[in-house]
Amino acid sequence: MSEAVVVLKRNRKLAIGALGGLALALGALQAVVEPALPLLQRELGVGAGEGALVGNALLVTGAVVAPVAGELGDRYGGKRVLVALMGVVSAGGVLASVAPGLPVLLLGQVLQGVMVGALPLSFILVRKHLPVGAARVAMGLVMALFTGGGTVGTLVAGPVAEHLSWRAMFALPTVVVVVMTSVVARLLPHDPPSPSAGGIDWPGMVLLSGTLLTFMLGLVRVTGAGLPPLGAGAVAVAVAALAAGWVAVERRAASPMVDLRLLARPALWHACVLTSVITTAFGMVAFLLPQLFAVPADGYGFGLGTTGIGLLLLPGAVAGAVGDAVGGVAARRLGLRTVLVVGALVTAATTFALASLHTAAWQLVLAKALTALAAGVGTTALLTRAATAVGTGDTGVVTGLLVVTRVIGVALGAQVGAALLDAGADPVTGLPAESAFATGFAVAGLVSALSLLVVRVTKKGFRA
């Protein structure tokens, strides 16, 4: 073997490792908001609904960008598109770190939301540079490192915010993103674009982006500001019209953004439905727990600051990373249906128990760990199954759709949880009543139990 080939292989391994490091940094940048959300609400003078918007602004952009990024990566090469998107993420991180108030912080979060597109692009690169067996493992590891970055972000958010400033929470991960992107750009070979019979389906991209953006912003308005029934109906009609237009365009396009025949495959539409249910339940738990930790200790809460909240959320972040890492392997060894049923039972039992048992910190810590583990295993198992059920030319589109489904589910859960807390807030103190948290945990349990029904209805697809 020539020296040049040896150097090429070594550089490729280093570059794949840098992809993992980039996922770690992006996960940290995304996760710093969760434990610091009560602090940000106090600093910015906003309530639970607007606080949820700070976290979900990133997810709104992610919902729009993920499928588009996957399509562009399939067409033009994952590396080229990834480097461009990371430039936008870095700009958003810088903007958030110098934000003087809520509007600029939201804009920074919107730009950082482009990071969600890094996942399908990383899967494209892994799939093209590794054999199928190794690619499955690598996809799980990339997802695990993204979730593991959440562990890092959760752990350091408190000390950084309390000893430096909340702006530094965004600045430090942004520096790492810039460094890791530079390593990937320098060492990873350019991946050849997939052959295509036509150009980019821009009308399809615009309509899909418009559908997702309208849905996400409408969700924030309906659950946060409380739109009247007529306004909520108008949002629903707009989403339905945009979605119908997208389907019509895709059916007629010579080179569609998404081949609708893919959506007809049980492996994909089962994965989308189940991912949305699983992540909605988890999104509610992930939002409610930090809020409960921050409630003053002279009532039913714990009166914790950002550092204390981060430490108590840390086991859950670790469990989520473990779940993402082993999801594909667990599905292969135990069967996808078994993994999903067990995960749904664990999450439902845990959240129903939380509705009445939430007076000790260990109860909440254990609940976060169990629900994060179940959600990580289930969603990653669904993603790897769908990604390896299609050709390499469709990997970016399929994984992008599943990533955006995951994002929408978490955002939906967070906004529903915020709406329940706002509805149950004391008019004098502004603090939510304990019953609002109990209701939120019970609703999360019902949503999780719904996935059992979905699994049963689609059992023939699992056998296939």
Most confident region among 85-99, 124-138, 408-422 by mean pLDDT: 85-99
Q: What is the pLDDT of residue 443?
A: 93
Instruction: Give the pLDDT of residue 4.
Output: 39
Mean pLDDT of 346-374: 91
Extract the tokens encoding 427: 């008019």
Whether the per-residue pLDDT at 318 is higher than 60: the answer is yes
Beta carbons of 113 and 88 less than 8 angstroms apart = no
Q: Which residues face 432 on adjacent strands?
A: 425
Residues 56, 93: Cα–Cα separation, whole Å: 15
* Residue 258 contacts residue 272 (beta carbons within 8 Å): no
d(CA 87, CA 116): 13
What percent of the chain clears pLDDT 90, i.e. is strictly above it?
A: 8
- Contact at 8 Å (CB) between 396 and 404? no
**pLDDT tens track for 26-40:** 888 777 777 777 777
pLDDT value at position 34? Answer: 74
Contact 121, 70 (CB under 8 A): yes
CATH entry, 3-186+202-463, from 3.60.15.10, 1.10.630.10, 1.10.1740.10, 1.20.1250.20: 1.20.1250.20
Cα torsion 180, 185, 189, 191: sign: positive
Q: Write the pLDDT tens digit of every residue in 144-199.
A: 777 677 777 777 777 888 778 888 888 888 888 888 888 877 877 676 666 654 56
Cβ–Cβ < 8 Å for 29, 174: yes
pLDDT attached to residue 350:
92
pLDDT, one tens digit per residue, over 298-309 is 778 888 887 888
Residue 1 has pLDDT above 50, yes or no: no
Query: How large a percentage of the chain has pLDDT more than 70?
Result: 77
Q: How far apart are CA 264 and CA 269, in angstroms?
A: 7
Phi, psi of 196 (to 5 degrees): -140, 145
Alpha helices (runs of H) in 295-335, residue ranges in sequence order: 306-334
pTM of the model: 0.68
**Is residue 272 within 8 Å of 405, Cβ to Cβ?**
yes
Residue (of 291, 324, 283) closest to 412 by Cα position: 283
pLDDT band for position 370 (cuts 50, 70, 90): very high
Residue 5 pLDDT class (50, 70, 90 cuts):
very low
Q: For residue 393, is pLDDT > 80?
A: no
Distance CA 155, CA 177 (A): 18
Please say whether the dihedral angle defined by the alpha carbons of residues 210, 147, 54 and 356, taken in this order, is positive or negative.
Answer: positive
- Judge whether residue 8 has pLDDT over 70: no
- The percent of the chain in helix, strand and coil, each rounded to the nearest 5, is 85, 0, 15
On average, the pLDDT of the chain sits at: 77
Most confident residue range from 76-90, 198-212, 381-395: 76-90
Contact 79, 15 (CB under 8 A): no
